[in-house]
Amino acid sequence: MLYYSTNGQSPKVDFKTATINGQTPDKGLYFPEFIPQLEKSFIENIDEYPNEAIAYEIIKPYVGNTIPADVLKKIVEETVNFSIPLVPINEKIASLELFHGPTLAFKDIGARFMSRCLGYFVKDQQKKVTVLVATSGDTGGAVANGFYDVPGVDVIILYPSGKVSSVQEKQLTTLGKNIHALEVKGSFDDCQQMVKDVFAHAADFPQLFLTSANSINVARWLPQQFYYFFAYKQWADKNNPPVISVPSGNFGNICAGLLAAASGLPVKHFIAACNANDTIPEFLNTGIYPEKKSVATISNAMDVASPSNFVRIMEIFGQQVPDLKKQLTAYSVNDADTKATLKKVFDEYQYLLDPHGAVGYNALEQYLSGNILEKGIVVETAHPVKFYDVVEPIINKSIEIPAFIKEQLEASQQVTLIDNSLEALGSFLKNQLM
Ligand SMILES: *Cc1c(COP(=O)(O)O)cnc(C)c1O
């Protein structure tokens, strides 16, 4: 399998090079040359496969011969070695709980897969491998956790000051060792821009081998397909496939779902559930892609004004918006409705959503109210305890904090406050790493 650039100006590369590069040299995104089609018998008999076998089957064609089969099997096993249950909330809606990994968010899956692939690929690299990550909240923790104490790899995490939850901030800043947390005086989009700018100036850092770990990296994006198959495996009514609602920010997660569907996974319809950052809902409604600035919400991991992965979604649908709209509906849900949904679902069904899941649930309900024969899945992207400071006042109750999170909340932080500029990031790299 080769990957081309969505900007069309960079050479095609294999999975190894795409993973190491992160972004294409022409500042596009890597996209697979073709979408593998799964055997019908595989889908029909999916109940009989253990999760790691499903994951291996899905990822194998994308990795090609860049990782030997036995190594890839081990990587995949370690990626999915926690439970990913489909939990019914009521007769119509079930929750796909993606928060049982080490940092309590779905990003653990992509981050675990990518860190292990990258670890394999850079084993004999001469330069110091430096992974740059801009995070709106959850990516940083998952990536930091995946790379913690990996020899020869430094991780630089940029997060927007004052815009991540206290649990998230602790997950970024308390690891230490090879994990460097930078608190940026700016927004998530600023952080993302700084990472892009450093790549454009890579020649200024000759001792460093720079790579990224955002959802644009194919090794993070592609394994996110796994759990859509795990969901289908657990879906009782195979004759009536689910509508799947995905709380969306940078659109990597939902793009993986759409890719899975393009490979043959039965899904009725996808819902992109956005918060007040409504660029894509507006684009699908008006046909005009608006220029927006991100706004802060209580579902902060989705505070993204210009979702990077949307170009990949357009690529899956051959740039045909009408085809895309047949499979995808996007909604924007404001904070007030998010809170009301979280409270309602807790009061009526004793199921506690996190703010991101609540956005997903609200959007799914809107869709199902006009499509009464359908049933759906809300992808629950984070554990509510990660956002206890938001959730507790809404339900007027304290939620139990797991012991390992409590420990983290008490640990001391190591963090550097920096300006929102390429110069500030550049001098950190020079002073700390070179
Ligand atoms: C990152 C994140 C999202 C958004 O996922 P994208 O792939 O960026 O669309 C949603 N919910 C939570 C909890 C997240 O951490």
Highest mean pLDDT among 8-17, 123-132, 196-205: 8-17
Contact 241, 299 (CB under 8 A): no
Q: Give the residue from 424, 371, 5 showing the smallest Cα distance to 185.
A: 424
Contact 190, 419 (CB under 8 A): no
| Pairing assessment for the beta strands 153-160 and 376-380 based on DSSP bridges | unpaired
Contact 300, 164 (CB under 8 A): yes
Question: Residue with structure tokens 């909340």?
Answer: 409
Task: Give the pLDDT score at 139.
Answer: 82
Give me ligand 1 centre to Cα 112, in Å: 16
Asked whether the predicted pLDDT for residue 381 surpasses 80, the reply is: yes
Give me ligand 1 centre to Cα 124, in Å: 33
Gap between the Cα atoms of 267 and 376, Å rounded: 10
Give me ligand 1 centre to Cα 99, in Å: 12
Segment 13-41 shows an average pLDDT of 94
Task: Write the DSSP symbol of residue 203.
Answer: G
Q: Which amino acid is at 423?
A: E
* 133-145 burial code (b ≥16 CB/10 A, e <16): bbbbbbbbbbbbb
Task: Determine the atom of ligand 1 nearest the C-alpha atom of 99.
Answer: 13
Contact 199, 120 (CB under 8 A): no
Give me ligand 1 centre to Cα 206, in Å: 33
Q: What is the pLDDT of residues 335-369, one digit of tens each?
A: 999 999 999 999 999 999 999 999 999 999 999 99
The mean pLDDT of the chain is: 94
Q: Give the residue from 28, 52, 95 showing the smallest Cα distance to 341.
A: 95
Give me ligand 1 centre to Cα 249, in Å: 6
**Domain extents for the chain?**
83-105+221-395
Question: Residue with structure tokens 């085809």?
Answer: 323
Domain covering 83-105+221-395 assigned CATH 2.40.50.100 in the classification: no
Locate all alpha helices (DSSP H) within 64-137, ordered by sequence: 69-79, 107-121
| Pairing assessment for the beta strands 30-32 and 86-88 based on DSSP bridges | unpaired
Segment 380-386 shows an average pLDDT of 94
Task: Determine the atom of ligand 1 nearest the C-alpha atom of 107.
Answer: 15
Q: In degrees, to the nearest 5, what angle opens at C-alpha 330 toward C-alphas 228 and 365?
A: 75
Please say whether the dihedral angle defined by the alpha carbons of residues 285, 286, 289 and 293, taken in this order, is positive or negative. Answer: negative
How does residue 392 score in pLDDT terms, banded at 50, 70 and 90? very high
Gap between the Cα atoms of 304 and 296, Å rounded: 9
Q: Give the residue from 158, 151, 156, 153 showing the smallest Cα distance to 129.
A: 153
How does residue 251 score in pLDDT terms, banded at 50, 70 and 90? very high
Give me ligand 1 centre to Cα 107, in Å: 7
Phi, psi of 419 (to 5 degrees): -75, 160
Gap between the Cα atoms of 72 and 7, Å rounded: 30
Q: Does residue 221's CB lie within 6 angstroms of at least one atom of ligand 1?
A: no
129 vs 91, residue with greater confidence = 91
Give me ligand 1 centre to Cα 254, in Å: 9
Q: Does residue 302's CB lie within 6 angstroms of at least one atom of ligand 1?
A: yes
Q: Which tokens go with 334? A: 């404001």
Question: Residue with structure tokens 């991780």?
Answer: 155
How does residue 401 score in pLDDT terms, banded at 50, 70 and 90? confident
Task: Determine the atom of ligand 1 nearest the C-alpha atom of 138.
Answer: 15
Asked whether the predicted pLDDT for residue 55 surpasses 80, the reply is: yes
Q: Does residue 252's CB lie within 6 angstroms of at least one atom of ligand 1?
A: yes
| Pairing assessment for the beta strands 179-185 and 415-419 based on DSSP bridges | parallel
Task: Give the pLDDT score at 347.
Answer: 98
Q: Does residue 360's CB lie within 6 angstroms of at least one atom of ligand 1?
A: no
Q: Does residue 381's CB lie within 6 angstroms of at least one atom of ligand 1?
A: yes
Ordered strands of the 128-134 beta sheet: 208-212, 128-134, 153-160, 179-185, 415-419
Q: Does residue 215's CB lie within 6 angstroms of at least one atom of ligand 1?
A: yes
Do you know the residue count of the chain?
Answer: 434
Task: Give the pLDDT score at 351.
Answer: 97
Task: Determine the atom of ligand 1 nearest the C-alpha atom of 251.
Answer: 9
Task: Write the DSSP symbol of residue 309.
Answer: T
Asked whether the predicted pLDDT for residue 137 surpasses 80, the reply is: no
Asked whether the predicted pLDDT for residue 372 surpasses 80, the reply is: yes
Tabulate helix, strand, coil % of the chain (nearest 5). Answer: 45, 15, 35
Q: Give the residue from 2, 67, 428, 22 showing the smallest Cα distance to 209.
A: 22
Pocket residue to mutate for ligand 1, from 245, 250, 388, most atoms within 8 A of Cβ: 250
How does residue 167 score in pLDDT terms, banded at 50, 70 and 90? confident
226-234 vs 51-63: helix axis angle to the nearest 10? 150
Question: Residue with structure tokens 């969306």?
Answer: 248
Q: Give the residue from 388, 362, 390, 389 showing the smallest Cα distance to 376.
A: 362
Asked whether the predicted pLDDT for residue 403 surpasses 90, the reply is: no
